[in-house]
Amino acid sequence: MFPGKPEPLGATFTDGGVNFAVYSEFCESIDLCLFDSIDAVKESQRIRLTSKTGPIWHCYLPGIMPGQLYGYRVHGPYAPEKGHRFNENKILSDPYSKWIARLPTWHSSLFSYYRTDLGFREVSKEELLRMDMRDSAPFAALSEVIHSEFDWERDTRPNVPWKDTIIYEAHIKGMTALHPDISPELRGTFTGFVSEPIIRHLAELGVTTVELLPIHQCFNSLRLYNNSLTDYWGYNSLSYFSPDRRFSRFSSGIECINEFKKMVKRLHKAGIEVILDSVYNHTCENSHFGPNLSFRGIDNFSYYKLDKSDLTKYDDSTGTGNRLNVENPYVAAMILDSMKFWVTEMHIDGFRFDLARSLVRNEKFPDNLENPFLTAINSDPIFSGIKLIAEPWDLGEDGYKIGSFPKPWSEWNAQFRDCARKFWRGDRRMLSEISTRIAGSSDLFQREEGSPCSSINYVACHDGFTLEDLVSYEKKHNEENLEQNKDGWDYSYSCNFGAEGPTTSGQILSRRDRRKRNLLTTLFISQGVPMISAGDELGKSQQGNNNAYCQDNDTNYINWDLGPRYRILLEYAIHLIRFRKEHSSLRRDRFFEGKTQTHRFSKDILWISETGNELATSEWESEMRKSFGFLLPAPFDTDESFTNGDSDQNSPLLFLLNASEEPTDFLLPNYLKDGIWTRVFDTWEAEFDRIAMSFNIGQKYRLREDCIAGFLFTTLQAGPSKKGQRPST
């Protein structure tokens, strides 16, 4: 054995041997334990790390090759009352492990304190203070030394501009498990996710970016284990460097890693970006009565944010039982190193940070603009051009901080979601807010250098009702989660149109389908970055379960056996996305200013009433108003762009919205001369217009109840649409 080096952390194969380095600030010593096989119940070698640089313990072992299994035993005080959970009887996986070769097997010896049961329960302080002397080696996770070589050929990132980005939030297994055209052995795998049927679907739909639910190696909680459920979503990370073995065709680490790389490479070839939903705020070790699997046993006091009033417990702003201590520079560095690994080694294009508010909680730097963790990310050239998305809340005090993340971050905009749902549900006094959301939520994001692209708009996501369930259920139905239906959010702002769940009523189904079209259309005609949840374009239902995190079954799997009703919905979504892509006025990277533009157009956006005139102040304040319209000029509206405007991208757009229960007659605005309004869609109809319908300026248009209609302006110079001609969309 040689002293080795303190960097890089983890197990690094180099010069015919392996350098091991692990961080622990408060331990007394560390033993590196080598295992001969995945079934081994005891290490074959135990090697004391005698070299230490600062808080980094390290050694170099010549002759050790990739594939070697290992773990650590960490010696130090077992003093939970002081925040320390060291217990040398427990085998611990490497926080920097590139592959978890063996997952833990639930057993009472995994806990640092003595207990004989596996009940998911609160433990007394007396129990917690009694150190367990049993060896956890037969049941512990094992890390594996990995050395990966992969031919990326000429792989390049698509680098889709934010303003052109359309995000598709997907789960590897949920997307592929039931697809009839994917080979059974490929369903649920990284390979299956880039099979021809999936690539074809993504391309036809027109999305630019897939946001994958967590693919870091996770581990089931004790509650799920006891109830024969699984951590399907994967929001309980055991390793931030290892891909989740659930999604691989292979059992070997190197093959799984290369399978992931092939998936990214294939998506890039199709022009599709890959964003990882990453759970850097907490781990799978649960609360103070959870097991010692890795971080807790290596250095509980350093890795976790502890409760100052009781160091046996955690400052849990995540609602999961623990929170990583990102204020510790070594913990922050681990997250940054993980991000760098996925960017440089795995070629991913961005991150969505789960409960990002927890990552930036810092008493010394309450302002995100000065937060050292964000500063480190924003200033690192490796992350230049990488998409960064924050879920800007957590469950702690002052947890909702939307609009607080600096450039270049974007944020999930839950206010867009709730506002769109409430407006179309018919709630009162929604005009001011829905117009603000459509215009890019400047009230939230018009910070220094902010733009509409700071807002990730969505009407449904993995967390909550699917789009289908949003129009089918008014109450959550989470009984299968075995939490007495107490889990999940109670405020979904949904509407079932008179029947809870499935129905055979044609009238109810028609209203539900129209509401889905309204919500999708609102999403794609709004400024900001639209995100749809996989399956919403296909009518995916979770049978009213709005928190299906533990359902590894048909509840979460997309049903690809589409009937006529859902084929029509899919076609509508395809045309809607195509329409957005064709009209750059829907994809601004600057907020509207309401200023005069040119002699042809008075403002960069014009909000109108049924009269075709600009909304008056009194109309904005009306409690009962549920219908309005807005007019967008052509981009860079000039005489030249109008005169030579053969492309619809240079056409002004008009949208009329009616969330009331009665039809509304609109006069089509006459701000523009020498042209006609050509209807592109009306959500009263199930499809985009196939036959052009043209209307004169000032002509009356009857918009049915609960509908949106969209028009483009065609100048007479460019030639009006002819009867029977399908307009370009």
Q: What is the mean pLDDT of residues 180-203?
A: 98
Residue 204 reports pLDDT greater than 60: yes
Residue 728 reports pLDDT greater than 90: no
Is residue 35 within 8 A of residue 69, CB to CB? The reply is yes
C-alpha distances out from residue 620 to 190, 430, 615, 653, Å = 50, 9, 7, 21
Domain boundary at 126, 144, 162, which?
A: 144
Contacts of 335 (CB under 8 A, 6+ apart): 240, 280, 324, 326, 359, 373
**Bigger pLDDT: 621 vs 387:** 387
Is residue 602 within 8 A of residue 596, CB to CB? The reply is yes
Residue 634: predicted pLDDT: 84
**What's the mean per-residue pLDDT of the chain?**
94
Q: What is the mean pLDDT of residues 720-728?
A: 39
506 is written with which tokens? 């044609």
Residue 45 CB-half CA count within 13 A: 12
Residue 513 CB-half CA count within 13 A: 24
Domain boundary at 91, 122, 144, which?
A: 144
Domain boundary at 144, 171, 198, which?
A: 144
**Rounded CA separation 605/593 (Å):** 8
Point out the catalytic residue in the list 354, 394, 468, 469.
354
Residue 649: predicted pLDDT: 65
C-alpha distances out from residue 726 to 473, 661, 691, 693, Å = 37, 30, 5, 9
C-alpha distances out from residue 336 to 219, 362, 382, 442, Å = 22, 17, 10, 30
Residue 720: predicted pLDDT: 43
Residue 726: predicted pLDDT: 38
Residue 482 reports pLDDT greater than 70: yes
Q: Judge if the upstream peptide bond of residue 408 is cis by omega within 30 degrees of 0.
A: yes
Is residue 570 within 8 A of residue 206, CB to CB? The reply is no
Residue 721 reports pLDDT greater than 60: no
Q: What is the mean pLDDT of residues 556-581?
A: 97
**Bigger pLDDT: 602 vs 163:** 163
Amino acid at 144: E
Residue 598: predicted pLDDT: 55
Residue 674: predicted pLDDT: 85
Under the banding of pLDDT at 50, 70 and 90, the label for residue 601 is low
Under the banding of pLDDT at 50, 70 and 90, the label for residue 600 is low
Q: Judge if the upstream peptide bond of residue 530 is cis by omega within 30 degrees of 0.
A: no
Angle at 243 between CA 25 and CA 357, to 5 degrees: 60
The SS3 call for residue 695 is strand
Domain membership of residue 384 (yes or no) is no
Report the chain's terminal Cα–Cα distance, integer Å.
68
Q: What is the mean pLDDT of residues 534-552?
A: 98
Residue 5: predicted pLDDT: 98
Residue 421 reports pLDDT greater than 50: yes
Domain membership of residue 516 (yes or no) is no
Tell me: the pLDDT tens digits for 453-475? 999 999 999 999 999 999 999 99
Domain membership of residue 626 (yes or no) is yes
Largest CA distance in the chain: 87
**Rounded CA separation 159/656 (Å):** 34
The SS3 call for residue 512 is helix
Per mean pLDDT, which range of 41-45, 207-211, 620-624 is the poorest?
620-624
277 is known as an active-site residue: no
If one counts every other C-beta atom within 10 angstroms of the C-beta of residue 193, the result is 26
Residue 648 reports pLDDT greater than 90: no
Residue 719 reports pLDDT greater than 50: no
Domain membership of residue 364 (yes or no) is no
| pTM given for the model | 0.95
494 is written with which tokens? 């949904």
Q: What is the mean pLDDT of residues 126-148?
A: 98
Domain membership of residue 83 (yes or no) is yes
695 is written with which tokens? 């209307």
Residue 637 reports pLDDT greater than 70: no
Point out the catalytic residue in the list 43, 349, 391, 682.
391
Tell me: the pLDDT tens digits for 354-371? 999 999 999 888 888 889
418 is known as an active-site residue: no
Contacts of 251 (CB under 8 A, 6+ apart): 245
Tell me: the pLDDT tens digits for 403-419? 999 999 999 999 999 99
- The CATH number assigned to the domain holding 681 equals 2.60.40.1180
Domain membership of residue 693 (yes or no) is yes
- The CATH number assigned to the domain holding 55 equals 2.60.40.10
Tell me: the pLDDT tens digits for 689-717? 988 899 999 999 999 999 999 999 998 76
Domain membership of residue 699 (yes or no) is yes
| Structural domain boundaries enclosing 90 | 10-144
Query: 381 φ, ψ to 5°?
Result: -65, -20
424: closest CA among 708, 710, 664, 653? 708
Q: What is the mean pLDDT of residues 62-69?
A: 98
Share of the chain above pLDDT 70, in %: 95
Residue 715: predicted pLDDT: 85
Give the total number of structural domains in the chain: 2
Domain membership of residue 207 (yes or no) is no
Share of the chain above pLDDT 90, in %: 90
